[in-house]
């Protein structure tokens, strides 16, 4: 198979590349769905990855533009951990994964795609999700449209703010 249907990729391919940091978000919430921001905490926010490794791939990102964990205040680190915990809970309820990968890549050499603004990766995993597509084709298959996933997860995150 040479072609996979991934309609959200067309915006990335054809659209202009942002000059500003994609993790430096505006204070207003009018663009939250477009940006796939699920919830805003006191010092960080939870956002979906627009180019996910697996369906439901989330990121927890501090508001402040910092590149290293050691640059965060205690309050920022605590808020990030709180929302990482909540993101895993939401992920478990929404997708029932058999496992979860979590990580923080600090610096380009460590694999950080956006090294200037740190972000924690949270990826649901299932036995066998590294199928022949990932092994031979270096391709992930995402079974659900990003906005469908967003609309499924958003109410679960809102329960924490009620």
The CATH number covering residue 128 comes to 3.30.428.10
The catalytically annotated residue of 28, 117, 119, 145 is 119
Query: How many Å separate Cα 64 from the centre of its chain?
Result: 17
Q: Considering the domain boundaries, does residue 70 fall inside one?
A: yes
Q: Considering the domain boundaries, does residue 19 fall inside one?
A: no
What pLDDT digit, counting tens, does each position of 25-70 carry?
A: 999 999 999 999 999 999 999 999 988 878 899 999 999 999 999 9
What range defines the domain where residue 141 resides?
Answer: 32-161
Q: Considering the domain boundaries, does residue 115 fall inside one?
A: yes
Q: Considering the domain boundaries, does residue 94 fall inside one?
A: yes
Residue 145 bears catalytic tag:
no
Query: How many Å separate Cα 152 from the centre of its chain?
Result: 15
Kindly report the backbone phi and psi dihedral angles of residue 74, in degrees, each rounded to the nearest multiple of 5, phi listed first.
-60, -40
User: Is the pTM value of this prediction over 0.95?
Assistant: no
**Do 6 and 144 touch, CB atoms closer than 8 A?**
no
For the chain, what is the domain count?
Answer: 1
**H helix or E strand, kind and range, residue 151:** helix 146-158
Q: Considering the domain boundaries, does residue 97 fall inside one?
A: yes
56: closest CA among 121, 139, 8?
A: 121
């Amino acid at each position: 198979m040479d072609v996979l249907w991934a309609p959200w990729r067309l915006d990335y391919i054809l659209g202009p590349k942002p000059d500003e940091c994609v993790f430096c978000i505006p204070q207003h919430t009018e663009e939250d769905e477009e940006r796939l921001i699920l919830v805003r905490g006191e010092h960080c926010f939870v956002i979906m990855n627009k180019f996910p490794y697996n369906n439901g791939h989330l990121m927890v990102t501090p508001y402040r533009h910092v590149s290293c964990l050691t640059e965060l205040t205690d309050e920022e680190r605590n808020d990030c951990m709180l929302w990482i915990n909540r993101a895993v809970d939401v992920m478990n309820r929404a997708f029932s994964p058999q496992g979860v990968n979590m990580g923080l890549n600090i610096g380009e050499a460590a694999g950080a795609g956006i090294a200037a603004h740190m972000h924690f990766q949270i990826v649901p995993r299932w036995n066998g999700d590294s199928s022949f597509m990932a092994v031979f084709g270096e391709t992930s298959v995402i079974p659900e449209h990003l906005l469908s996933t967003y609309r499924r997860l958003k109410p679960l995150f809102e329960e924490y703010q009620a």
